[in-house]
Chain A
């Protein structure tokens, strides 16, 4: 049994806004969400990169204590986005709790803020410090904290998938959710990912010399995917949630259909855990096309992973060229908000849906002088009307994990 899978709702919290209107405004006006790195009293002073894709607008959470008590910051983001998506979907409570709705949601490593607090308490040296680690700290910080806090808050009783594959976390969530529905295991899936403000992740990439450092005093000028002056990625925070649903069911209940997931690929480079791999990435893009049963000529727009690292962008450009030639426009959306880690795949998918509906494409921000080693593809350089019938969302993670989601605009 292979069923069609459509997207009936989405919501995002990003460094460039949280509503469709705000996000599109930022994208079409070249507004960056990159801000100075905040002092955290621990790592920030040791990190060379002083920029971060920051959510700096207030979010009013209306969560009861019985929900809040097991939530770290990452789950607040996740539950907020998930709640907005569920509300938008119009799914009724009976279905939500029926067991036919599952959750596929993850984060890079749970809540580092809570983990940091645990270690701070542990190493404080104060008497009884171990015992003062709260009973809920694990629930707040564990890797699947986002997924299960969502199930608890909304009473969801279906399958739980909680990917934690860094940059491919939420694209895996969408892909695995799509497969759950496609093969009849669930009728709908609430999919996505989140990551909170965290300097640990920045420190890791900083030590690997992968972070941007040349624009510390001008944060809005970095990251610069595919640009000759790019000098690394910028870590960010955010959340994205999408409701995926079996097509016939969605149609029958009169749901608004935002798009259709027609293909998904996930593979591994089978080797180095850090270096980008042309063969592995190229294969990912080809698998997705085969899964969707479409030709490379059918794809109108590519949302590249495009983190702004020296080698990653070159390898990705080569892979895109090998599969698509230089025809479809390529956008690097991280140029606006940084690398929102576990949420990037979901956020980038949501933006594709927004652009599909809006009928336009946007440029890769800060791409003013294309690196000749990335120049073999068709870079999106400006805002312009564009009919996106089929969009591709590409994400690649440490560990050699690659994903590709193909999203089709619904006819009519």
Chain B
């Protein structure tokens, strides 16, 4: 898995699940795209599917401060590594 693949997957999720098209990677999702706490929980379900493994409650709590696509990619990368999935940079 590469960082680029993670980003593309996340952007696909945003397009399909949240109808947010091509957000800037550093957009504040809450302020600019009305991405709220309900969306965040839905996103975590999608990330679990992406990783093929369940996130712990602690891991989920770590995601609650996420504000941008880049933050989400960082988070997925960290979670992937914690599961022994190799993530290479672009």
Contact = CB atoms under 8 A, between A and B. Distances in A.
A132 interface: yes
Nearest to A139: B38
A188 B1 CA distance: 57
B30 to A, nearest CB: 11
Contact of B54 (A64, A131, A134): A131
Interface in A336-366: none
Given A128-B54, A131-B45, A136 B18 contact: no
Interface in A117-138: 128, 131-132, 134-136
Contacts of A134: 42, 45
Interface in A47-95: 64-66, 69-70
Contact-residue bracket for chain B? 10 to 19
Contacts of B27: none
Main secondary structure of the interface of A (DSSP, over half): loop
Interface string B8-27: 00000000001100000000
Interface residues of A, number: 12
Nearest to B55: A131
B34 interface: yes
Interface string B54-71: 100000000000000000
A70 B19 contact: no
Contacts of A131: 45, 48, 54
B42 A135 contact: yes
Nearest to A67: B34
A218 B36 CA distance: 49
B39 interface: yes
A65 B41 contact: no
Interface of A: 64-66, 69-70, 128, 131-132, 134-136, 139
Closest 7 CB pairs of A and B: A135-B41, A65-B19, A66-B34, A136-B38, A135-B42, A135-B38, A134-B42
11 contacts: A66-B34, A66-B36, A70-B38, A131-B48, A131-B54, A132-B45, A134-B42, A135-B41, A135-B42, A136-B38, A136-B42
